[in-house]
Structure 1
């Protein structure tokens, strides 16, 4: 009898454990039509979720997608692009002739000579004169104006390219930090999961009297510290995402896709090739070189101003009582203000010297920055090689050995925690070294003009 009661009690417990928390009474089971409606809504919402906005799944997965998006949406680059287009539109009017002038002159408007009342109407005064005058710049001045405007347009294009290189490099830099924060978040969560599993083991052994309370408390302190690190990394990742959205002209909380793994680092970079590329394709150096062309063209224009400008015109004279006549005029500007002209010529010479010095300064700074970035990249590659192939395998082997020794009772929990902490530190250092190496590569790409 007791055996039968135990069997019925076990069966009841099994039936109770098999019931789901989502189970409904039979009287409240959904009808077929209601079930079909719920299924349709579920599938529809799933389809809408999977479609989303066209760029949401891919935007943020790689720096290339962000850079392509910023080319059209970044306000700063839009301003630089508009300024370059405006400079190109100045070339055509620079070589155009000045607009002619038209004059109406009323001679003897009081009609004193005719004895009539005063008048301001053409033809009702003593004599009306109509004159059209066309200013003519001196020889070669129009061509030099076109040359100067063309040089300024080229300089504006170079400044636009410089602005774009800075923006693209900044986006890639922020994305790399966003990528590193995402990977650090994953490493921190992995370490927290492992520490939590060790906590369960330590509690089990503490209940059996095989572990002192201090070891359990230390384990819990490590878990709390790991949770704090997880919160810090998460906030840093959100801040970097907001910075990227700001560069893209989006809302600060616009969603970004999780970053994919970037392309493998180049095994080797030739310093000679890099310095040659920086000397010929660096945007800042090219902009400074365009400044020399602008200063040279302005100097030529300033010296050409020693020659006078001219004007030609025709005039029609119409007396109140008399025959109309025509006059032809020729005007020439007399260059008497020599002191002001000499000052402007000296100014043009100094501006050319400043432009040349500015280009040399850009070359020197580019060379120094490139040398520093290249050295950092080489050092980072070597450090990564040692971490990946030597230090990290050793730390993993130490961690595995300490866990195996803990299972057999040969070491205590402090040794396991210390081995796990060393492994986490080495992985974090590896990630930080990879970030610094990739940032150096981004700087090299910017200095050598690869962002176009």
Structure 2
């Protein structure tokens, strides 16, 4: 009986430990932040773009300015604040035989007046609409600035990716040269190679190490530039870049042109600028009509009965030459706004054509390098190694084959990065919002 009881106690203890462990594991899982499964910062572009959207200081300025412009819409259409006046009549109290005073109610007569300015009909509505168009323009300018910032981040990350991959290629080349050095030393000890071959191998290894130092320095520089765009300190750590997504097989130019004209935020900002100029022109024309002011006065004579006065004030538009000049200025600003939009569209379409040409050229270069030149260089390298092992070629031929293969791989990497940069430029010019 006692062993059975002891066994049950042990079972309960084991079950309790299991429950506590499961509970602790569940709490540990709950404590893991949602972003833990995401790629570390620097590994891919989406994470960098989202980080910069929150932390990039230049974009924070654009975002705050756009929000400030939106807050100006409501005040633009509001009535001006009224003014309050206190007028003291007969402060010397000659008519009442009292002392001189500035206290309201103790002078000959005290007047309390409230004046409300009233702009002419339609002016407040036009001012509110113009402020709304300025807010739309500021938001479009914010989107254009963000598109440029995101494109800069893409280009910086691609340079970071290129430097990282080039460093890997240089390390692989260095490892190959070191293996060749061992083969050369062993054959030199057997008297099959002259000493010059050993020295040549060691010289190539030193040159490769120097190249690797330069590439590593460039990698650190690209990382610092990327951190600057993210609003981080230059020495902040970045994860090693992952492989970017595959390139598209091709893009059509005509839809890109139409998309750029239709939705690019820079062109949208200039279009909103045309709206602003038109509304300002209409508001300037409204200045031909006079503004008004209404006043209500409470008269309080000393020792007399209170009375009320109503006042209407009308502005007299006499300065016709100045007003006509402002109207001509407003009309010319509309013309300038149309010209700015046309200039922005022409510039963007020209840049789009250049980026499209670079993309198509880079795509063709990649096909040649990946499909023809790289396999040829690999086959040459393998054949040269086999011939070197059999003693049919000298060491210089082996080094030249290895160098050609490394150069081909680096050229393939550079062509891939340049093509991706051209694609990023196309996406920017087509108005794609990351």
Q: Give the TM-score taking structure 2 as reference length.
A: 0.91
Secondary structure of residue in 2 paired with 1:279: helix
Question: Greater shift after overlay, 69-78 or 205-214?
Answer: 205-214
Contact kept, 8 Å, 2:294 with 2:313, in 1: the verdict is yes
1:152: how far off? Answer: 0.4
Gaps of 5+ in 2: 1-27
- Of the three residues 398, 410, 421, the one matched with 2:380 is 398
Which residue number in structure 1 is paired with residue 171 of structure 2?
Answer: 189
Distance 2:376 2:353 in 1: 34
1:54: how far off? Answer: 4.8
**Matched positions, count:** 403
Which residue number in structure 1 is paired with residue 244 of structure 2?
Answer: 262
- Of the three residues 399, 405, 421, the one matched with 1:439 is 421
Which residue number in structure 2 is paired with residue 225 of structure 1?
Answer: 207
**Is 1:248 the counterpart of 2:233 in the alignment?**
no
1:221: how far off? Answer: 1.2
**Is 1:367 the counterpart of 2:344 in the alignment?**
no
Which residue number in structure 1 is paired with residue 134 of structure 2?
Answer: 152
1:57: how far off? Answer: 5.4
Secondary structure of residue in 2 paired with 1:156: helix
Distance 2:304 2:367 in 1: 103
1:346-398 per-residue CA deviation (whole Å, 9 max, x = no partner) reads: 21112111111110011101110000000110010011001111111001000
Distance 1:381 1:351 in 2: 44
Which residue number in structure 2 is paired with residue 109 of structure 1?
Answer: 91
Matches within 5 A, 1:32-431: 54=36, 58-431=40-413
Contact kept, 8 Å, 2:39 with 2:47, in 1: the verdict is no
Gaps of 5+ in 1: 1-46
1:451: how far off? Answer: 2.3
1:83: how far off? Answer: 0.7
Moved over 3 A (4+): 51-57
1:345: how far off? Answer: 1.2
1:169-206 per-residue CA deviation (whole Å, 9 max, x = no partner) reads: 00010001111111101101000000000011111111
* Closer, same or farther: CA 56–206 of 1 in aligned 2, 3 Å: farther
Question: Greater shift after overlay, 248-257 or 411-420?
Answer: 248-257
Contact kept, 8 Å, 1:56 with 1:255, in 2: the verdict is no
Secondary structure of residue in 1 paired with 2:298: strand
